[in-house]
Chain A
Amino acid sequence: MNQQIASILKSVSKPGRYSGGEYGETVKDKGNIKCRWAFCFPDTYEIGMSNLGVRILYGALNREEDVWCERVYAPWVDMEEKMRAGKIPLWAHESGDAVSDFDVVAFTLQYEMCYTNVLMMLDLAGIPLTAAERGEDDPIIIGGGPCAYNAEPLADFFDVFSIGEGEEALVEFARLYIEMKENGTYTRSAFLHAAAKLPGFYVPSLYTVTYRDDGTVEAYTPVYDDIPAKVTKRIIADMDKAYFPEQVVMPYIETVQDRIMLEVYRGCIRGCRFCQAGMIYRPVREKTPEVLDKQARDLFACTGYDEISLTSLSISDYTELEELTDRLLSWTEGETVNLALPSLRVDSFTKALMERISTVRTGSLTFAPEAGTQRLRDVINKNVLEEDLMRAVKVAFEAGKTQVKLYFMMGLPTETNEDLAGIAELAEKVVEVYYANPNRNKGKHPQVTISVACFIPKPFTPFQWEAQDTMEMLKEKQAYLSSCIKNRHVRYNYHDARTSHIEAVLARGDRRLGAALLEACRRGFHFDAWEEHFDYDRWMALFADCGIDPAFYANRAWGLDEVLPWEIIDCGVKREFFLRERERAYAGSTTPNCRQACSACGANQLGGERTCCPKCKA
Chain B
Amino acid sequence: MLSKMQGLTPIDPPRTVRIRFRKVGKLQYISHLDLQRTMQHCIKRSGIPAWYTKGFNPHYKLVFALPLPVGAESECELLDLRIDREISDAEILRRFNETVTDELRGLEAYTPTTKFADIAWAEYAVTLTGTAVTDGMAAEAERILTTSPLMMVKRSKSGEREVDLVPMIRSVRAEGGAGELTLRLVLSAAGADYLNPELVVTALRERLWAGVEHPDTLSWRILREQVYCADGQTTFR
Contact = CB atoms under 8 A, between A and B. Distances in A.
Interface of A: 1, 3-4, 6-10, 15-16, 18-23, 86, 250, 252-254, 258, 300-306, 331, 334-336, 361
Contact of A302 (B45, B56, B58, B103): B45
Interface string B205-237: 000000000011001000000000000000000
A304 B41 contact: yes
Interface of B: 1-2, 25-31, 34-35, 37-38, 40-46, 52, 56-58, 70-71, 99-101, 103, 215-216, 219
Given A3-B219, A302-B45, A304-B45, A252 B2 contact: no
Given A23-B99, A254-B37, A335-B2, A304 B30 contact: no
A86 to B, nearest CB: 7
Given A250-B41, A304-B40, A16 B2 contact: no
B145 to A, nearest CB: 21
A21 B27 contact: yes
Contacts of A331: 2
Given A252-B35, A303-B41, A306-B44, A1 B26 contact: yes
A252 B30 contact: yes
19 contacts: A4-B216, A9-B71, A15-B29, A19-B27, A20-B26, A21-B25, A21-B26, A21-B27, A23-B100, A23-B101, A253-B34, A254-B34, A254-B37, A302-B45, A304-B43, A304-B46, A331-B2, A335-B1, A361-B57
Contacts of B30: 16, 19, 252-253
B45 A303 contact: yes
Contact of B42 (A7, A18, A258, A304): A304
Contacts of B2: 331, 334-335
Given A19-B30, A21-B26, A252-B27, A6 B219 contact: yes
Contacts of B1: 300-301, 335
Residue of B26, B30, B34, B56 with most chain A CB atoms under a 10 A cut-off = B26
A306 B45 CA distance: 10
Interface of B is mostly: helix
Nearest to A250: B41
Contact of B215 (A4, A21, A305, A306): A4
Contacts of B45: 300-304
Given A20-B26, A304-B43, A336-B52, 17 more contacts: A8-B215, A10-B71, A15-B29, A15-B70, A21-B25, A23-B101, A250-B38, A254-B34, A300-B45, A301-B1, A302-B45, A304-B42, A304-B99, A306-B40, A335-B1, A335-B2, A361-B57
Contacts of A301: 1, 45
A16 B70 CA distance: 9
B34 A16 contact: yes
Contact of B26 (A19, A334, A361): A19
B84 to A, nearest CB: 13
Contacts of B43: 304
Contacts of B71: 9-10, 15
Contacts of A336: 52, 58
Contacts of B101: 21-23
A18 B28 CA distance: 12
B29 to A, nearest CB: 4
Contacts of B42: 23, 304
